[in-house]
Amino acid sequence: MSRAPEPAPPLWRQLQAAAAAVQGVREGRSLSALLEAVAPAWRPGVQALAFHALRQLGRAEALRRQLARRAPPPAADALLCTALALACHEGDTPLYTDFTLASQTVEAAKRQSATRGQAAFINACLRRFGRERPALLAAVADDPVARWNHPRWWLEQLRRDHPQHWQALLQAAQQPPPMSLRVNQRRLPRDAWMQRLAQAGVAARAMGPSHPAGVVLARPLPVAAIPGFAEGDVSVQDGAAQRAAPLLLAGQTGARPRVLDACAAPGGKTAHVLELCPGADVLALDVDPARCNRIRDNLHRLGLQADVRAADAAQPATWWDGRPFDAILLDAPCSASGIGRRHPDVRWLRRASDVQALAAIQATLLAALWPLLRPGGRLLYATCSVFRAEGQAQAEAFAAAHSDTVALAAPGHLLPAAHDLPDHGEEDGFFYALFEKRPA
């Protein structure tokens, strides 16, 4: 007999879990890791609430300061700010009635020891917000952090880096992302797989010419519900990330190029390389052994093989066998400022100093990997960042420091809000620079 699905938890219980996630992010923990601790049956609802709270956290915190100058203890403050964020949907259309949200938040406070003593305070704040909503919203309207729901340093960095697009970039980060897929064309053509989607009643559209394997679903689905996912017919991958493998392989003429994916987890780009070039000899590195297991799992699902190793790409002496590579992909660690719509916690986790620290790591990786490339080979540098220090400025500094580089055509900064490239539109923020090694 099949087991009945677990019922959805009441709203007060979901509010507790979402507030705990907000508190964890404030303490410096990744939202993805925090959500892993939530029961699977409850996770979608809790994630939706946490995503919304983090997308509106700047305004929620400003409102809480209007309601109470002194912050309550961390758990109570996280619960109150979560509720205030949910009370202020974009366009000022609340997700819940004031009564429902206040009563359920107070119930959430009463049912856990860390917030029980603050239940009356939370109730008073939410009741006051319901009475004075227009005046309180007007009071925070000129606060840039409240308006844009990003830290002040982030706003200033975007204004410097992209003076024509910074506002549109911030607006794009507040929108739910599309679910983009890559069809494994080694197994079947994209059109054939889309026919299967249509037969299953799943609405989708093909991406344009820059993404011959790309598909965007009209509505996100759990991966288990995507036709052919378990069999390896399709992978989840944003359109911007789908540009990497074609760019890297465009100059390869041999049947078995030696390819290095230097920071490979979770393996999407490694798999795409192998789908486009089945004979490639691919070495996929990641510094984290657990993340290496994710690469192996993804390759196994797709029926692909690569040499996957846990190693620090910046220390080639510990893993390189001395044979040069024909192509190197460096999807370097970065601020992730281009994927804020997928990871709304990133903006609150990062600090201004992180960008320069990450840029230093990127420069170290580029310098360490360049000698491993054969003359005539190509290195593709990529980050999922819209900050110039991790993109154009990094590429220019690398080219200036290496006289044997030839810069080839590449997209540069891909901005979610700027449709400068055909077929860009709904892609995440990314940066690509492509270098060829000049023969000695």
Residues classed as catalytic: 384
Instruction: List the one residue out of 106, 7, 436 whose CA is nearest residue 248.
Output: 436
Torsion of CA 276, 311, 236, 213, to 10 degrees: -10
Q: What is the DSSP letter of 189?
A: -
d(CA 100, CA 83): 11
Do residues 110 and 123 touch, judged by C-beta distance below 8 A? Answer: no
Instruction: List the one residue out of 365, 363, 372 whose CA is nearest residue 400.
Output: 363
Q: Find the angle CA(272)-CA(278)-CA(281) to the nearest 5 degrees.
A: 90
Instruction: List the one residue out of 397, 273, 394 whose CA is nearest residue 325.
Output: 273
Do residues 103 and 130 touch, judged by C-beta distance below 8 A? Answer: no
Instruction: List the one residue out of 250, 289, 298 whose CA is nearest residue 270.
Output: 298
97-103 long-range CB contacts below 8 Å, 24 or more apart?
Answer: 98/126, 98/129, 98/130, 99/130, 100/11, 101/126, 102/126, 102/127, 102/130
How big is the chain by its Cα radius of gyration, in Å? 24
Q: Note the helical H segments in 149-264.
A: 152-161, 166-172, 190-199, 244-249
d(CA 293, CA 413): 31
Residue 283: both structure tokens together: 């070495």
Residue 248: both structure tokens together: 């890297």
Residue where the block lists tokens 């288990």: 224
